[in-house]
C-alpha cells in the first residue's frame, strides 16, 4: 500500500491514489460500506490527514494516520484500530493559539491550518513538517516551522524554527527599502511542499487586511534553515497564496507552480514582458529554483487583471493541478496545468509557455485553453485516466475528458446533486485504471457534512453517500471548508471540526 505524505497524494496535486485494492465499484455501497470509526482531536481539522504504511511507532509496526489541528496539536493514530499513538503540541511555553485576527476565514483559533508534509526517508523514523501559529504572553504572534519524528512526535534537533523574512521592495509593510514579514498578518493556508530537499511555504492574509504581500519561502529540510525567499508583490500589495488549502505544485525538474490571489500587477512590462516592478498579483506562476534560489520564471495574467483584482474576482481561490505528459493532435508532448478561481473560468496553461500578459488585450488568447463560465472555483480538481474532475460552487461534480491535450468543453458526465460553497475538492481511488471511484464532500461550517462516492466512468452513477443508511448510521457531524478526503488501504478519512471520520467496509 502507498504512503500518502502530501496534500492530494503527490506533488502534482492530482488527488489520485492508484494503489487502492480494497475498495471497488461493487463493495462501496451502503450495505457493505460506511462509517467505521471516529478519531477525536482537540480542535478543527483543516489540514488533510496523511498516512504512512508499516511504521514502527509505539513499539509496534502498523499503519499510521497523522492529523494536525487548529489547536496547534499533531496526532498519530493507528490507522486501522483508531488507537492514539502519540500527541504533540507545537505551542511554546506559556503560549496560546492565535485568535482569528478579526477574520472569519479560520476561527475561532488559528494553529496548524495547512496540510503538513512527510519525508519518510529523513531521520531514523521519517519526519513530519508542520507550520504552527501562536501567541505569547506578551501578545506577540509567532509562525514556526516544526520538524517532528514520525514515530514519537518529538521535535527533532534544531526544531522549531522561527519564521522571519525580508525582501527588497517598497510595498505594503516595507521599512528601509525592504518588505518585512510580519507573522501576525499571515496564515499558512496552502499545503506544505517538499521538493528537492526543501520545504516550500506560501503565505496568505487574514481576509484582505493590509498590510500584506505575497510571500514564498524555502527551508532546507535537513538543516531547518531558510534557503530562499521570494515576494510576489514587493513593490505593491496583496497577492497572497492560499488556493483553498491546495499546495504549491512541483514538476520533475523542480519548477514550482501556484495561483496567486488578487493584488498589484504592473501593466507596464519590461523588455522580457515581465511586470516592470516585479508585482505579480492575480497570476498563474512558474517559479524556478535554480541554485536553490526562488525566482519567477514565467506567468499568465488575465487580460482584465486590474479590474478583476479590484473586484476580488481573482485566481487565488482555486488549486492548481499538473497534468501528466499529453500528446497533442500534432504528436507534440504538452506539459499542462489546470487551475482557476473566482472569475468562473477554468484555465489550462502550457507549463513551458504560460502566456504572460497582453497589454490592451480583450481576451485571454495568450493562455493555452480557457473554459469560460464553469463557475466559481474554491477547490482543487482531481485527474484520473485522462479525465479532470471539477467541483465548482453551486454546480454538480463534473468530468471533463482530455483528448489531444485539450480539455473537452462540455462534461462527459456529472453528479445528480450540486455542491454548495465551497464546492468540492474531489479525490480518486483506483487499482491502476480499474475500479476508479471519485470521492467528494459536501462540507461547509455549521452544516451536516456528506461523503459521496461516484463511479469515475460515469458521475451520474452514485455508488454511495453517507445519508443513505437508515438511522443516521454514517452521519459524522458538521463540515469544514476546503476539505478533501484521504483514501488509502480500504479506508476514507475525512477532516471535521473535532476529529477524523473514518469510513470503510463494514463487518458482517
Q: For the segment 222-242, what is each residue's pLDDT rounded down to a tens digit?
A: 999 999 999 999 999 999 999
Strands across the sheet containing 84-89: 50-57, 60-68, 73-78, 84-89
Is the pLDDT at 361 greater than 90, yes or no? no
| DSSP conformation class of 427 | E
d(CA 51, CA 500): 13
What is the rounded average pLDDT of the residues 384-405? 98
Kindly state the greatest CA–CA separation across the chain: 69
Euclidean distance between CA atoms 138 and 469, whole angstroms: 51
| Average pLDDT taken over every residue of the chain | 97
The per-residue pLDDT for 445 is 85
pLDDT at residue 360, rounded to an integer:
87
325-329: average pLDDT:
97
Note the pLDDT of residue 51.
Answer: 98
- Phi first, then psi, for residue 7 (nearest 5°) are -60, 135
Which pLDDT score, from 0 to 100, does residue 246 have? 97
Report d(CA 309, CA 238) in Å as an integer. Answer: 10
Strands 16-17 and 427-431: parallel
CA trace torsion 226, 230, 233, 238 (10° rounding): -40
Q: What is the CATH number of domain 7-505?
A: 2.140.10.10
The confidence score (pLDDT) of residue 1 equals 87
Q: What is the pLDDT of residues 63-118, one digit of tens each?
A: 999 999 999 999 999 999 999 999 999 999 999 999 999 999 999 999 999 999 99
Tell me the C-alpha distance between 384 and 247, whole Å. Answer: 19
Shortest CA distance to 189 belongs to which of 266, 248, 129, 274?
248
Cell representation of residue 436? 476508479
What does DSSP assign to residue 425? Answer: -
Helix (H/G/I), strand (E/B), else coil: 7: helix
Can you give the pLDDT at residue 10?
A: 98
Pairing status of strand 73-78 against strand 60-68: antiparallel
Residue 383 and residue 324: Cα distance in Å, rounded? 9
Q: Is the pLDDT of residue 323 over 90?
A: yes
Tens of pLDDT along 465-489?
A: 999 999 999 999 999 999 999 999 9
Mean pLDDT of 163-169: 98
Percentage helix, strand, coil, to 5, in the chain? 5, 45, 50
> What does the pLDDT look like over 401-453, one tens digit per residue?
999 999 999 999 999 999 999 999 999 999 999 999 999 999 988 899 999 99
In the predicted structure, residue 508 carries a pLDDT above the cut 80: no
The cell for 176 is: 528601509
Output the CA–CA distances (angstroms, integers) from residue 167 to 25, 177, 466, in the order listed: 52, 8, 48
pLDDT beyond 90 at 391? yes
Amino acid at each position: 500500500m502507498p504512503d500518502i505524505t502530501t496534500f492530494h497524494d503527490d506533488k502534482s496535486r492530482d488527488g489520485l491514489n492508484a494503489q487502492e485494492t480494497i475498495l471497488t465499484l461493487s463493495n462501496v455501497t451502503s450495505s457493505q460500506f460506511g462509517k467505521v470509526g471516529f478519531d477525536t482531536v482537540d480542535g478543527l481539522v483543516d489540514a488533510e490527514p496523511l498516512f504512512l504504511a508499516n511504521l514502527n511507532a509505539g513499539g509496534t509496526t502498523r499503519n499510521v494516520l497523522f492529523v494536525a489541528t487548529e489547536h496547534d496539536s499533531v496526532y498519530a493514530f493507528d490507522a486501522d484500530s483508531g488507537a492514539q499513538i502519540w500527541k504533540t503540541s507545537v505551542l511554546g511555553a506559556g503560549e496560546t493559539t492565535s485568535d482569528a485576527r478579526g477574520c472569519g476565514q479560520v476561527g475561532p483559533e488559528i494553529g496548524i491550518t495547512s496540510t503538513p508534509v512527510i519525508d519518510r526517508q529523513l531521520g531514523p523514523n521519517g519526519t513530519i513538517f508542520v507550520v504552527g501559529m501562536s501567541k505569547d504572553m506578551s501578545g506577540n504572534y509567532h509562525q514556526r516551522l516544526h520538524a517532528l519524528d514520525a514515530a514519537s512526535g518529538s521535535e527533532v534537533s534544531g526544531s522549531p524554527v522561527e519564521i522571519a523574512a525580508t525582501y527588497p521592495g517598497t510595498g505594503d509593510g516595507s521599512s528601509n527599502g525592504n518588505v518585512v514579514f510580519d507573522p501576525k498578518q499571515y496564515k499558512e493556508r496552502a499545503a506544505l511542499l517538499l521538493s528537492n530537499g526543501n520545504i516550500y511555504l506560501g503565505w496568505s492574509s487574514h481576509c484582505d487586511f493590509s498590510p500584506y504581500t505575497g510571500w514564498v519561502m524555502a527551508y532546507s529540510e535537513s538543516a531547518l534553515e531558510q534557503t530562499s525567499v521570494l515576494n510576489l508583490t514587493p513593490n505593491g500589495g496583496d497577492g497572497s497564496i492560499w488556493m483553498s488549502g491546495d499546495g504549491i505544485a512541483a514538476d520533475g525538474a523542480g519548477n514550482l507552480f501556484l495561483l496567486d490571489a488578487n493584488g498589484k500587477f504592473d501593466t507596464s512590462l519590461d523588455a522580457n514582458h515581465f511586470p516592470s516592478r516585479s508585482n505579480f498579483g492575480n497570476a498563474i506562476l512558474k517559479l524556478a529554483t535554480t541554485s536553490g534560489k526562488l525566482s519567477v520564471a514565467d506567468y499568465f495574467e488575465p487580460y482584465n487583471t486590474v479590474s478583476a483584482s479590484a473586484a476580488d474576482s481573482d485566481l487565488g481561490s482555486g488549486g492548481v493541478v499538473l497534468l501528466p505528459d499529453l500528446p497533442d493532435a500534432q504528436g507534440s508532448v504538452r506539459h499542462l496545468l489546470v487551475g482557476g478561481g473566482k472569475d468562473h473560468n477554468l484555465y489550462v496553461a502550457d507549463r513551458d509557455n504560460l502566456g504572460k500578459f497582453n497589454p490592451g488585450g480583450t481576451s485571454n488568447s495568450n493562455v493555452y485553453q480557457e473554459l469560460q463560465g464553469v463557475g466559481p472555483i474554491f477547490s482543487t480538481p482531481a485527474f484520473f485516466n485522462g479525465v479532470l474532475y471539477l467541483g465548482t460552487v453551486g454546480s454538480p461534480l463534473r468530468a471533463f475528458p482530455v483528448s489531444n491535450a485539450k480539455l473537452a468543453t462540455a462534461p462527459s458526465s456529472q453528479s445528480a446533486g450540486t455542491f454548495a460553497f465551497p464546492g468540492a475538492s474531489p479525490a480518486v481511488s483506483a487499482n491502476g485504471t480499474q475500479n476508479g471511484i471519485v470521492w467528494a464532500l459536501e462540507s461547509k461550517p455549521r452544516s451536516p457534512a456528506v461523503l459521496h462516492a461516484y463511479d469515475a466512468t460515469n458521475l451520474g452513477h452514485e455508488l454511495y453517500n453517507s445519508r443513505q443508511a437508515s438511522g443516521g448510521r454514517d452521519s459524522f457531524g458538521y463540515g469544514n471548508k476546503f476539505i478533501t478526503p484521504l483514501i488509502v488501504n480500504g479506508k476514507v478519512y475525512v477532516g471535521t471540526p473535532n476529529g477524523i471520520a473514518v469510513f470503510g467496509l463494514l463487518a458482517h
